[in-house]
Amino acid sequence: MTNFIFLSSFEAITGMPELVGLIIAFLFGCIVGSFLNVVIHRVPNEQSIVFPNSACPSCKAPIKPYDNIPILSWTILGGKCRNCKSAISARYPAVELLTGIIFALVFWQIGFNAFLPIALIFAAVMVSLIFIDAGHMILPNVITYPLFVFSILVRLVYPVVFGAEYFPDLQYAPASWMNGYPVWAMSLACAIAGALAGGGSLWVVGELWKRLRGVEAMGLGDVKMMLGVGALLGWRLALLSIFLGAFSGALIGVIVIAKQKDKDMQAQIPFGIFLGTGSLLALLFGERLIAWYSNSFLI
Ligand SMILES: [Zn+2]
């Protein structure tokens, strides 16, 4: 049952203690988080993420490399621009810290193996989608489409090059269906099943809701996002992602609606935040959660 949590020892491979690996993963995550800030800030405005270099949003002064150290620079400068002293959002160090923590968690749960870079890229994409949806209520196609292509490519290449053990849904598929097919074809079939479970099921729910209630319940962005998530994680973890997302979304939704003054207003909740969080939880702990659940309740 521990297929997805395929712990290859960092210590055995590098000779350094696991803690060193965790710290490296955290620091690397902080640096990636610094880049994600640029993505989160610029992609919704359709700006290039490469040019120009980072500048203060108020006075446009370019940010010096020594003022661009994740978390530290913001803390040392007291959350203010060195040049014009206007406040710089705490979102910047928060995204850096969060990405660092998530990268450390991914390293801890996935292990030091061929799937680690894939899981880190996936986590970084989820962080950027979560924050863009929170700020702009959109999940941009320029992120969700490449995520889908990335997932399909990984599912095609990885089982051939590294073996099937990183994709537990391959082992859960009935062997008789797949007899005689090459592993990449099996993996592609599982990726499509996962995409349908993730994106397709959301789309069906959204359509039903629209027919029954006459209101748009879900954006197509959510569907496109879950197509990519499902293709990579497989149908079991895709459904778990939606379940975890819906559960946390409903919980937060109740609080938001309860606090809302105008009770007739339809609460606008960017669902991508919760789907992204659910997908991250499914990547990190999904296989364990499913194993625990089936051992506890399905015997
Ligand atoms: Zn400034």
**Which range is least confidently modeled, 51-65, 171-185, 241-255?**
171-185
Question: What is the Å distance from ligand 1's center to 31 Cα?
Answer: 22
- Alpha-helical runs (H) found in 65-200: 72-76, 91-110, 116-136, 141-162, 168-172, 175-178, 183-195
> Could you read off the pLDDT of 234-271 as tens digits, one per residue?
999 999 999 999 888 888 877 777 777 665 555 567 88
Region of residue 49 (phi > 0: left; psi between -120 and 50: alpha; otherwise: beta):
alpha
Q: Determine the pLDDT at residue 1.
A: 37
pLDDT score, position 168: 82
Average pLDDT over residues 158-162: 91
CA of 81 to the centre of ligand 1 (A): 5
Interval between CA 168 and ligand 1 midpoint (Å): 50
Residue 44: count of CB within 10 angstroms of its CB: 18
Rounded mean pLDDT, 219-231: 94
| C-alpha 50 to ligand 1 mean position (Å) | 20
The residue ranking higher by pLDDT, 171 or 42, is: 42
Residue whose entry in the numeric block shows the structure tokens 């489409």: 145
d(CA 292, CA 280): 18
CB atoms within 10 A of CB 267: 15
Residue 215's pLDDT is 74
Q: How far is the CA of 28 from the centre of ligand 1 (A)?
A: 27
Per-residue confidence (pLDDT) for residue 2, from 0 to 100: 43
Q: What pLDDT is attached to residue 12? A: 82
For residue 92, the CA-to-ligand 1 centroid distance in Å is: 15
Cα(94) to centroid(ligand 1), Å: 19
Amino acid occupying residue 36: L
**Which position has the higher pLDDT, 195 or 266?**
195
Q: Which of 139, 90, 108 is nearest to 23 (CA)?
A: 108
In the predicted model, is pLDDT for residue 68 greater than 60? Answer: yes
The mean pLDDT of the chain is 88
| Cα–Cα distance, 150 to 227 (Å, whole number) | 11
Separation of CA 62 and ligand 1 centre (Å):
8
Residue 253 has a pLDDT of 77
Which of 170-184, 189-203, 258-272 is least confident?
Answer: 258-272
What percent of the chain has a predicted confidence (pLDDT) above 90? Answer: 58
The residues with which 57 forms a beta bridge, in sequence order, are: none
Give the whole-number percent of the chain exceeding pLDDT 70. 91
For ligand 1, the distance from its centroid to the CA atom of residue 53, given in whole angstroms, is 14
84 CA distance to ligand 1 centroid (A)? 4
How far is Cα 212 from Cα 189, in angstroms, rounded to an integer? Answer: 33
Q: Is residue 181 scored above 50 in pLDDT?
A: yes
Task: Indicate the SS3 state at residue 87.
Answer: strand
**Residue 3 pLDDT level (bands cut at 50, 70, 90):** very low
3-class state of residue 55 by DSSP: strand
pLDDT score, position 75: 93
Å from CA of 80 to ligand 1 middle: 8
CA 35 to ligand 1 centroid distance, Å: 19
| Ligand 1 centroid – CA 93 distance (Å) | 17
The answer to whether the beta carbons of residues 284 and 109 sit under 8 Å apart is: yes
Interval 1-10 mean pLDDT: 54
The Å distance, Cα 90 to ligand 1 centre, comes to 15
User: Lowest mean pLDDT: which of 11-20, 80-89, 119-128, 252-261?
Assistant: 252-261
